[in-house]
A and B are shown apart, each in its own frame.
Chain A
Amino acid sequence: MDPRDGDRIVLLGDGLFEREQQDGYLETALTASWPEKKLAFRNLGWSGDTPLGEARAGFGSSENTRSWQPPQQRDPDYGFKKLLQQVREAKPTVVFVAYGSAAAYDEPADRERFPNSLKRLAKELAADKVRLVLVTPTPHERLNPAQPDPKPRNERLAAVAEQIRKIAAEQGYPVLDLYTGLSPAPVEPLKEPSQPRPYASPPLTENGMHLGSDGYRRVAWAAREQLALPTGRWNLDVSVAEMKVAGQDGTQCKNITKTEYGVQFDVSDERLPALDAPEASHRVLRVTNLPRGQYALTVDGQRVAMAGADQWATGVGLTKGPEFAQTETLRAAIIEKNRLYFQYFRPQNEAYIFLFRRHERGDHASEIAQWAKLVERQEEEIARLRTPHPHHYELIREKDYPESWVPSAVADTDPEAERRSFTLADGMEINLFASEPMISNPININFDERGRMWVATSTTYPHLEAGMKPNDGGRGSRRAGR
């Protein structure tokens, strides 16, 4: 894969991509691979969806008045039209199409439905001169004996993956084969419920079906291998004796100087380290001829590694540091961009703002447009973050940094006044158990076995303001401009 500068890449599919929004590993890997190219991503994943857009049909249009029934009954193709409309609105030049999870449940008689509908989708998208990448679904695994045996499901998923590969081969689309890329994942079923889980490796899914963080890292790794993304290879060999660079790969080193406690130098990387798999970001720093002793490596003043001089002489693998943090920040920025885009793409209170109750709260539509602006602003942040910065390396001792904590303030009022407003049935009495500032906006309670009351609270309710970061359950959300 070799994207063009300015490409707009849509991730279209079912829950596999919908959940990827909140993990971001694939998108981060693609973004960080070409720091010089401006790539925009739009995640259109939708739980339970098919190439015909069946799940995303939702309520249909605002003409579907007063009805909570999906619109397929009136127009069987409604979901498909909506899907195409959503894709086209995102103006893609490249579309990753990840469908097939739902097809794994199709009855034997319906099994040609999926390839036919995928072909139909591909044909429509190809007509838009969009480059396609087909993605196969991921295998299931069994996390505990109460879950269904994944074997028949995986056989089916394998068949679906084969159907996708076949279409890709026929039409000449690149394919990201996650079924193969993530196999073998299944874990042996457990015999006894009380037995601890003897995983050979950590499970890739959260629930037997949907990928967790490790799973999505593997997705990014599979993409790196199968779509031939650049690797994050990085090697630096510094000789203290000669005060010069003995070798470098993926980075440029300069300004090597001695300090009172060790050595320092500046490095400029070609690209950010990858997060998807250790193999993808093999960063080894070798520093020879250090005087004896334990050395902490700090990068931009942050402690990254600790090793003896002899270990530094043979090379120390680096697995964290500001560069990694920058990729994580990039990933967080991508996730945040996805969150902002989700509020634009699937806004809350859609019923009131765009659909059958828009006569009530349609005036909020302009707020939704604000989310789109916020997405664009966030993309500027992403563009800034995908470019590596020069870093200052120093082999010295460590330091600690205190964390800051800012309490939020809440108003003080008198619950006693409310208590006086009550009229109770004969023989009953009432007392205040809890109130603000201990809790704000409580909705629901339940007790645990220790008698502790658990309270669900939401200060965000009824609507997430544009740009607001929700903080429900805690001491309250930050409300923009209030």
Chain B
Amino acid sequence: MDHDGRADKSTVFADGLLVPHSVIPGDGGAYVTQSTQLLFLKDTNGDGRADARRVLLTGFGNADVHHMIHTLRWGPDGNLYFNQSIYINSTIETPWGIRQLNAAGTWRFRPTSMRLEVFSRGLVNPWGHTFDAWGQSFGTDGAAGGGISYMFPGSAFMSAADVHRIMAPLNPGHTKACGVEVLSGRHLSEEWRDTLMTTNFLANRVVRYRLSDRGSSYASQPLADLMKSSDRSFRPVDVKMGPDGAIYIVDWYSPVIDHGEVDFHHPLRNHEHGRIWRVTQKGRSLVTPPKLTGASTEELLDALKLPEGWSRDQARRLLKERGAEEVMPALRKWLAGLSPSDPNVEHQRLEALWVCQSMGIVSPRELRSVLKSPDGRARAAAVRVLADWQTHIPDAAKLLAAAVADEYPRVRLEAVTASRQAQTLEAANLAMRVLDQPIDDTLDYAAWLAARELKDFWLAELHAGRPVFGGNSQHLAFALNAVGGRDTLAPLVELARGGKLAGAAKISTLETIAKLGGPDDLAVVVDEVVRSADQDTAEADRLLTALERAAGAKKQAPKNGALIVEVLTNGKTKTSTREISARLCGAWKLVAAREALAKMAGDSSRGTPLATAAALGLASLGDAESLGRLAELAGGNGPTPLRMAAVAAWAGTNPQMAASRAVQLLEKLSAEDDPEPVITAFLSRRDGPQALAAALAGKRLPPAVSDAGVRLVNSSGRDLTALREALLAARAEKLVGTQFSPADQKQLLADVATRGDAARGEMIFRRADTSCMKCHAIGGYGGYVGPDLASLGGGAELPHLLQSILEPSAKIKEGFQTVNVSLTDGWIITGVVKQKTNSTVIVRDALDQLHFIPSGDIDELTQSNISLMPTGLANSLSKDELLHLVRFLSVLGREPRYTVSTRPLVRYWQWLEPSPAAELFARSIASGGEQGAGGKSLKWTTRLSTVAGSLPLSELPKLGGDFQGVSIVRFFVELKEAGSVPFRAVGGEGIRLAAPDGLKPLSADYAVSLPAGRQAITLLIDRQQAGNMLEIELTEAKESGPQAVLVQP
């Protein structure tokens, strides 16, 4: 070898394989994932070619070639890990039993014992998996947005099959990550070391994250890219550290990267090219790797001290292969000789423990030493080892008891997991003790999973009348809520009646009762609502929402439901509480509430939402008298919005009767009034569109009403041609839209690169009339109805982009197929299935609303070939506007300005709608007064930053009165503890910040002191003085105080 950084020689070790997604050397040969099999190949005669072949495991799915098993990795525990992606169902025969994994997940396999287990579930395309120096696992997802995900035994993420709860990834909105590696070693300088590198094959980038502890999990901070290519064939799919400390990047090198989206035999697919790149840091010498072949056991042990992950991983594996007889005596000697003053001694002891674990040698002495480490990371790793060995260690329970009370949250997490795996009653008691200390989402998940998987032990005890969890009510409530099945109902009701519960335990207990209980059980929930209705907490609303869901799902009404009428009519009750109460009165058929509801439905003084809820309540009561009152309201002289609400509620119950009244209202609708609720009400009934179309015959609608109707019809995901025709026929002025002939399209595609203006395209994308942002997010910000477009330009071809706009139903992206769900009572819900369990289907509709539909209510669930994306969007665009829009989409994720930056820029804004209350608010903040002035009358509208991260000020409305020419916006931050939040503003001239002591001019570098929790930062913008764009970036706090993070309210 000449060490010039290029491969000198290559040997074909094995051929004749069928799509081997990964290969990893070990045990004197190499392991290969191939289609339905895991193989072990070996060269026994030393000619460099495999001549022996064993099929270790078979039965992995092959229904989707790009999902077949992949990503082989040796864990520090000596197990072989590998993954499968979403459309793979695997049933594997092993000597330990049949193992099954449906959909994506990570397998853990020990080749010597043939023991195969599921380590983690989910992630759509988990094409990357790596271990950090402390043995923690991090995964990536090549399909869904999530950046890095923290995996541990039992973790589950999006797409996991047969699970009831999933965890969030660490970087929502960060799409398309493939191979992942922890950077380490002396070749790289400090700022590169211990960061996570992953490959975005779609956007031709290699990206990086820095992890830091966040409770028992991690925060993942995106860092600047390692590299980016303007060549769209650059397809980085894997990244690994080499023995020389350099970074190696695997480049599939093909213009086509999609699987099913491009034809399998497309001539553009490249079957010849492929590159491996090596990245080094200038001016720093490479690492001389230790000589490991032929090394003595002592030399291998010493290699465990090296800072390069590669050296340690190889040494650990070689020690395992060498075997216990030779290694154990040397290892004990090596441990005894470690210097206690070495800053890395804790890590070295852990490495030795892993060697024992890899060899399958239970070593209580070595384990105890690491369990006592002052470093929490080492203790956490040791608890993972303890989990593996617990049946062999007599006082394992005692050790776990200490771990579950550890001060370091991740040790507690591992202890809960270890208890779950122990499968004993004692372990169940232990696991719940994690609740005695502060809990975060990850710990809550682990405890929830433990309670469920150990339920055969503790629930049986409980049913046998014996006390569990040492009589601790909070522990019991948590465990019962976690299990949540019918046999937990009675003990939960008993706990709730006992009155010992408080806080989150009380709320979740009552919510579970609402979900499971019958009329008697629900009474305890209603009692609590009555108790808390006039308090300034969200408790009553949460419980009422749970009751409302129960009313919808199981048609359950509490025996004391009538008490809600008092909550509804009590003057002290919050408006939001009254709204739910109004709907519930209807759902529970509380005829006694009729008069109160009718009065509220006709009263605009407490806001349209309450009147709307009251109208819905009346409609749900459904008796002739109530419907009569509704008809009166719809036809009366009340304010139009209230009449609209009444007719919408009526249409939702009886579209045939409501249709002619609805058309009368729509005919006379003024520009301020929104026709959507009424039209939507008709669309939500199976027989609604037909009734509305019939009533429209011979009528004339204002153009705006007709257009809104057509827009709703077009995005309904259903074929409603008759109603569309009726709306167009009724339009007062004939519609002339732009038409795009095939010749126009050809010309447009030819012009995109030369004449298309991406900046103008982005403004068109952001316009209200195109409503693109309602459904599409870019880098996690925006709607979730359609796919996130952050990396669109890296994958989609221009003709495909244009077709997607002109004919949205021609090619619908995977996972965004429209379904029509017909309910047994005549409603129809159209949207995209978000999740499907045995009992519920969750559908996201075109308005980004989630519907939880009980399976029992579903008459028919059919797949529609019509996209939720409206057709005819382009009819309102000029030819040039469409050209600019296509240009913008084609550069998303490709040009720096249209690539979502990793900097912490404010992306989520709200502007204040002009109103008298808004002026009152402005006056109040100008004098340093209470920011709550104007309160509920203020209307804040969400506005997102551009892809580059700035807010175009020209899009903001201006206030009137004393504040002529002023716009007000706000954004949100969250702080763990009170402190100073520094940020940098670009374009801050003429902008003042609302501080407790009045308005302060915004300088380029600014810091504001805020209390802990979620806080709004409000800005007052003088549009005369201000520029066109405002960009705000959070900066690093000077003192190492708690960092604030940007959030959405």
Residues of A participating in the B interface, judged by any CB pair closer than 8 Å: 14-15, 18-19, 22, 46-49, 55, 58-59, 65-70, 73, 101-102, 105, 140, 144, 146-148, 150, 153, 192-194, 206-210, 212, 346, 348-352, 355, 357, 359-361, 364, 410-411, 413, 415, 417-419, 421-425, 427-465, 469-477, 479
Which of these, A147, A207, A427, contacts B282 with CB under 8 Å? A427
In the complex, which residues of chain B have a beta carbon less than 8 angstroms from the beta carbon of A431? Answer: 5-6, 277-278, 280
In the complex, which residues of chain A have a beta carbon less than 8 angstroms from the beta carbon of B225? Answer: 425
Which of these, B13, B112, B189, contacts A146 with CB under 8 Å? B112
Given contacts A48-B91, A443-B237, A435 and B838 within 8 Å (CB-CB): no
Residues 305-326 of B, flagged 1 when their CB comes within 8 A of A and 0 if not, give: 0000010001001100001111
Q: Is the CB of A69 within 8 A of B20?
A: no
Q: Is the CB of B292 within 8 A of A449?
A: yes
Given contacts A209-B94, A435-B274, A473-B14, A448 and B314 within 8 Å (CB-CB): yes
Which of these, A102, A410, A456, contacts B22 with CB under 8 Å? A456
Alpha-carbon distance between A474 and B12 when the two chains are bound, in angstroms: 6
Closest Cβ–Cβ distance, residue B450 to chain A (whole Å)? 23
In the complex, which residues of chain B have a beta carbon less than 8 angstroms from the beta carbon of A433? Answer: 5-7, 248, 275-278
Q: Is the CB of A105 within 8 A of B98?
A: yes
Question: Which of A427, A430, A446, A475 has most chain B Cβ within 10 Å?
Answer: A446
Q: Is the CB of B838 within 8 A of A148?
A: no
Alpha-carbon distance between A46 and B86 when the two chains are bound, in angstroms: 20
* B114 and chain A: residue at smallest CB distance: A207
8 closest Cβ pairs, A-B complex: A474-B15, A47-B59, A48-B91, A421-B231, A463-B264, A448-B25, A451-B243, A146-B113
Segment at the A interface, from B64-72, B138-146, B953-961? B64-72
In the complex, which residues of chain A have a beta carbon less than 8 angstroms from the beta carbon of B92? Answer: 47-48
Q: What are 26 residue pairs bridging A and B, where the CB atoms are less than 8 Å apart in the complex? A: A47-B92, A48-B92, A59-B87, A66-B815, A69-B162, A70-B102, A102-B98, A150-B95, A193-B325, A207-B56, A210-B58, A418-B233, A424-B226, A425-B225, A427-B283, A436-B272, A443-B70, A443-B238, A449-B317, A454-B23, A455-B276, A456-B20, A456-B21, A472-B16, A474-B15, A475-B12
In the complex, which residues of chain A have a beta carbon less than 8 angstroms from the beta carbon of B71? Answer: 444
Q: Is B673 part of the binding interface, using a Cβ–Cβ cutoff of 8 Å?
A: no
Alpha-carbon distance between A423 and B899 when the two chains are bound, in angstroms: 14
Q: Is the CB of A47 within 8 A of B58?
A: yes
Alpha-carbon distance between A207 and B12 when the two chains are bound, in angstroms: 26
Q: Is the CB of B272 within 8 A of A410?
A: yes
In the complex, which residues of chain A have a beta carbon less than 8 angstroms from the beta carbon of B248? Answer: 433, 445, 453
In the complex, which residues of chain B have a beta carbon less than 8 angstroms from the beta carbon of A350? Answer: 62-64
Closest Cβ–Cβ distance, residue A408 to chain B (whole Å)? 10
Q: Is B1008 part of the binding interface, using a Cβ–Cβ cutoff of 8 Å?
A: no
Residues of B participating in the A interface, judged by any CB pair closer than 8 Å: 5-7, 10, 12-25, 30, 32, 34-35, 54-59, 61-66, 70-72, 86-87, 89, 91-98, 100, 102-103, 110, 112-114, 159, 161-162, 179, 189, 224-231, 233-234, 237-238, 240, 242-244, 248, 250-254, 259-261, 263-265, 269-283, 289, 292-293, 310, 314, 317-318, 323-326, 360, 811-812, 814-815, 817, 819, 833, 836, 838, 861, 863, 865
Closest Cβ–Cβ distance, residue A207 to chain B (whole Å)? 5
* B223 and chain A: residue at smallest CB distance: A425
* B1 and chain A: residue at smallest CB distance: A451
Q: Is the CB of B113 within 8 A of A436?
A: no
Alpha-carbon distance between A314 and B72 when the two chains are bound, in angstroms: 57
Alpha-carbon distance between A357 and B812 when the two chains are bound, in angstroms: 10
Given contacts A429-B280, A444-B72, A450-B292, A47 and B274 within 8 Å (CB-CB): no
Q: Is the CB of A206 within 8 A of B55?
A: yes
* B239 and chain A: residue at smallest CB distance: A445
Alpha-carbon distance between A5 and B286 when the two chains are bound, in angstroms: 72
Question: Which of A66, A415, A417 has most chain B Cβ within 10 Å?
Answer: A66
Q: Is the CB of A427 within 8 A of B59?
A: no
Q: Is the CB of B91 within 8 A of A55?
A: yes
Q: Is the CB of B289 within 8 A of A451?
A: yes
Given contacts A65-B817, A430-B278, A456-B32, A418 and B229 within 8 Å (CB-CB): yes
* A54 and chain B: residue at smallest CB distance: B91
Closest Cβ–Cβ distance, residue A194 to chain B (whole Å)? 5
Q: Is the CB of A418 within 8 A of B58?
A: no
In the complex, which residues of chain B have a beta carbon less than 8 angstroms from the beta carbon of A212? Answer: 54
Q: Is the CB of B836 within 8 A of A449?
A: no
Q: Is the CB of B89 within 8 A of A444?
A: no
Closest Cβ–Cβ distance, residue B330 to chain A (whole Å)? 14
Q: Is the CB of A15 within 8 A of B93?
A: yes
Closest Cβ–Cβ distance, residue B922 to chain A (whole Å)? 45
Which of these, B59, B103, B276, contacts A442 with CB under 8 Å? B276
Known: A425-B227, A462-B264. 10 other contacts (CB 8 A): A207-B57, A418-B251, A419-B277, A435-B275, A440-B274, A442-B252, A445-B238, A469-B16, A473-B17, A476-B272
In the complex, which residues of chain B have a beta carbon less than 8 angstroms from the beta carbon of A67? Answer: 836
In the complex, which residues of chain B have a beta carbon less than 8 angstroms from the beta carbon of A459? Answer: 271-272
Alpha-carbon distance between A433 and B21 when the two chains are bound, in angstroms: 21
* B283 and chain A: residue at smallest CB distance: A427
In the complex, which residues of chain B have a beta carbon less than 8 angstroms from the beta carbon of A476? Answer: 271-272
* A479 and chain B: residue at smallest CB distance: B271
Alpha-carbon distance between A252 and B159 when the two chains are bound, in angstroms: 66
Q: Is the CB of A68 within 8 A of B15?
A: no
Which of these, B250, B261, B324, contacts A445 with CB under 8 Å? B250
In the complex, which residues of chain A have a beta carbon less than 8 angstroms from the beta carbon of B276? Answer: 432-435, 439, 442, 445, 453, 455
Q: Is the CB of B98 within 8 A of A48?
A: yes
In the complex, which residues of chain A have a beta carbon less than 8 angstroms from the beta carbon of B269? Answer: 462
Alpha-carbon distance between A471 and B228 when the two chains are bound, in angstroms: 32
Question: Which of A22, A351, A432, A477 has most chain B Cβ within 10 Å?
Answer: A351
Q: Is the CB of B272 within 8 A of A447?
A: no
* A67 and chain B: residue at smallest CB distance: B836
In the complex, which residues of chain A have a beta carbon less than 8 angstroms from the beta carbon of B224? Answer: 425
Alpha-carbon distance between A410 and B274 when the two chains are bound, in angstroms: 11
Q: Is the CB of B865 within 8 A of A359?
A: yes
Q: Is the CB of B260 within 8 A of A360?
A: yes
Closest Cβ–Cβ distance, residue B929 to chain A (whole Å)? 48
In the complex, which residues of chain B have a beta carbon less than 8 angstroms from the beta carbon of A462? Answer: 65-66, 259, 264, 269
In the complex, which residues of chain B have a beta carbon less than 8 angstroms from the beta carbon of A448? Answer: 25, 314
Q: Is the CB of B279 within 8 A of A430?
A: yes
Closest Cβ–Cβ distance, residue B258 to chain A (whole Å)? 9
Q: Is the CB of B227 within 8 A of A430?
A: yes
Q: Is the CB of B19 within 8 A of A470?
A: yes
Q: Is the CB of A18 within 8 A of B58?
A: yes
* B861 and chain A: residue at smallest CB distance: A65
Given contacts A458-B19, A472-B15, A439 and B274 within 8 Å (CB-CB): yes
Given contacts A465-B265, A471-B15, A472-B20, A441 and B63 within 8 Å (CB-CB): no
Closest Cβ–Cβ distance, residue A251 to chain B (whole Å)? 35
Which of these, A148, A352, A360, A411, contacts B113 with CB under 8 Å? A148
* B4 and chain A: residue at smallest CB distance: A431
Q: Is the CB of A147 within 8 A of B114?
A: yes
Alpha-carbon distance between A449 and B290 when the two chains are bound, in angstroms: 9
Alpha-carbon distance between A55 and B89 when the two chains are bound, in angstroms: 9
Q: Is the CB of B838 within 8 A of A73?
A: yes
Which of these, B18, B59, B70, B113, contacts A48 with CB under 8 Å? B59
Alpha-carbon distance between A150 and B95 when the two chains are bound, in angstroms: 8
Q: Is the CB of A357 within 8 A of B814?
A: yes
